[in-house]
Structure 1
Amino acid sequence: MASALRPPLTPPPDPASARGIAAALKLDGQGRLIDVGCGPGPLALDLAHLFSEVVGVDPDPGMIAEDAHEAARRGVGGTQGTPGDEVAVLTRAGFTGPHRHVVPGGQPLERTSADVVPWVFSMSYAAPHLFGTRSDAFEAEVRRLLRGVSPSGRFSEQQRSSEVFVWRRSLAEA
């Protein structure tokens, strides 16, 4: 695990994504969000204020631990994580789905090195727990490479569209 001074694992939230998802799903601050394949929790934590409860599901227990760390760092309560397979977990909990929703992207986003490094760590192949004691060295190398391509430390990207797969409580369970 990286030092206690490591940056957050996720870049700052993009308010447009949370607003787009909230509008597409007609969220009202009620209900439970189950983020399947949550990784370190960027989507669930960004949307936590729109639900009464948030549950992260990921097959990698290390990602669940990072999600919990990030929730504590952000001061987001009411979240819990569990390792597991999405279909088994959601079916057992009485949900049907998935129902696919697309939130259009295309907006330009300006990022700094401080945003890009956590994004790299949020990838399943670059999660900090995979590096063990070498996590700090990996982070230093990523920062060195970023300085090499952009001495100003500024980057731009085009926001991608987001796919959201919604599982709903089956009518028989409601």
Structure 2
Amino acid sequence: MADSTWQWDETLYAGSARHYSVGRWPYPPEVAEAIGTALDLDGTGRLLDVGCGPGSLTLLLAPLFEAAVGVDADRDMLAEAQRLASEAEVTNVEWRHLRAEELPADLGTFRVATFAQSYHWMDRPLVARRVRDMLAPDGAWVHVGATTHQGVADDDPLPYPRPPWPRINELVARYLGPVRRAGQGSLPTGTPSGEGEIMLAAGFSGPTRLTIEQGIVAERSVDEVTSAVFSLSSSTPHLFGDGLPAFEAELRDLLTTAARDGVFAERRRDVGIVIWRP
């Protein structure tokens, strides 16, 4: 990790699962289209989504495969994934509660392994080696990078005010301190970089990079922005302890004052796709 003193623990996203589908934008259909085209996906083979959370990417990509497995270390995330899969009538996904470091876990061989906003929380060299051994010879590792809780910070005119993210961050810091929280620990220097060197050292080749340009202006409610805040590892509900009701009351008051008729607008960010071959 960026901070060698940080260690993963099971409270990393405790209490945030129910906020994902409310506070985070879904990945656009163009992500599935781009991955399907780049990898010539035809409905066969199996998908492994590692750190799947509530299935945001798993459920989008599952129709491109015969079967899919979503793996996550948070039971609440998997329960939410099962709920959303049932709502979407997606029936070809199996959900497994385990950490990425526990792979291969007798899960077998996969055509594609995906990581969406999850790889930086793992023992990356170990996971890269283990997942590479789980891929078919013509398989692929796909990393999807996106910021889905917050839009582009620019000055373009929008139909409604932008959420006051700097003031939101100041409020979080007032309750939790100036250093970014993450589970029981903190990340003073943020999450790590250097993924390319790790992948090459693990025996992968590439990468191929794709960008899904969005630019869509989306309207957001006070409830949605509130859930966006609670969906983050740095401000997941349990971190506030007994101060949670007071924090949420202040947050909602801030947002209600800043919105117009209870509505914000943000321009959605682009999504990056990085493909590695074993």
TM superposition score normalised by structure 1: 0.68
1:120 match? 229
Query: Tell me, which stretches of 5 or more residues in structure 2 are unaligned?
Result: 1-13, 87-92, 102-122, 136-203
CA-to-aligned-CA distance 1:50-95 (integer Å, 9 cap, x gap): 55224345xxx5xx23422421442455233433424422321225
Q: Secondary structure at the match of 1:102?
A: strand
Shift of 1:108: 0.9
Q: CA 1:143–1:12 in 2, change beyond 3 Å: closer, same or farther?
A: closer
Residue equivalent to 1:147:
256
Distance 1:136 1:42 in 2: 28
Q: Gapped runs of 5+ residues in structure 1? A: none
Q: Which has the higher helix share?
A: 1
**Cα deviation code 1:86-105 (max 9, x no counterpart):** 44223212253664332112
Partners of 1:87 and 1:10 lie apart in 2 by 31
Check whether the contact 2:211–2:270 (CA below 8 A) recurs between aligned residues.
yes
- Cα deviation, residue 149, structure 1: 0.6
Q: State the distance in 2 between where 1:143 and 1:29 align.
A: 44
Q: Does 1:11 align with 2:49?
A: no
Q: CA RMSD in A?
A: 3.4
Does residue 1:68 correspond to 2:78, yes or no?
yes
Q: 1:53 to 1:137 in 2, by over 3 A?
A: farther
Structure 1 outlier segments of 4+, above 4 Å: 12-15, 27-30, 38-41, 45-51
Question: What aligned pairs does 1:41-56 form with structure 2 within 5 A after superposition?
Answer: 42-51=56-65, 52-56=67-71
Residues 142, 79 of structure 1: CA spacing in aligned structure 2 closer, same or farther, 3 A cutoff?
A: farther
Conserved 8 A contact 2:53-2:78:
no
Distance change (3 Å), C-alpha of 1:90 and 1:151: same
Bigger radius of gyration among the two: 2
Question: Structure 2 matches for 1:1-174, cutoff 5 A?
Answer: 8-11=19-22, 14=25, 17-26=27-36, 27-30=41-44, 31-36=46-51, 42-51=56-65, 52-56=67-71, 61=73, 64-75=74-85, 78-83=94-99, 84=101, 85-93=123-131, 94=133, 95=135, 96=204, 99-168=208-277, 170=278
Structure-2 change in CA distance of 1:149 and 1:99 (3 Å): same
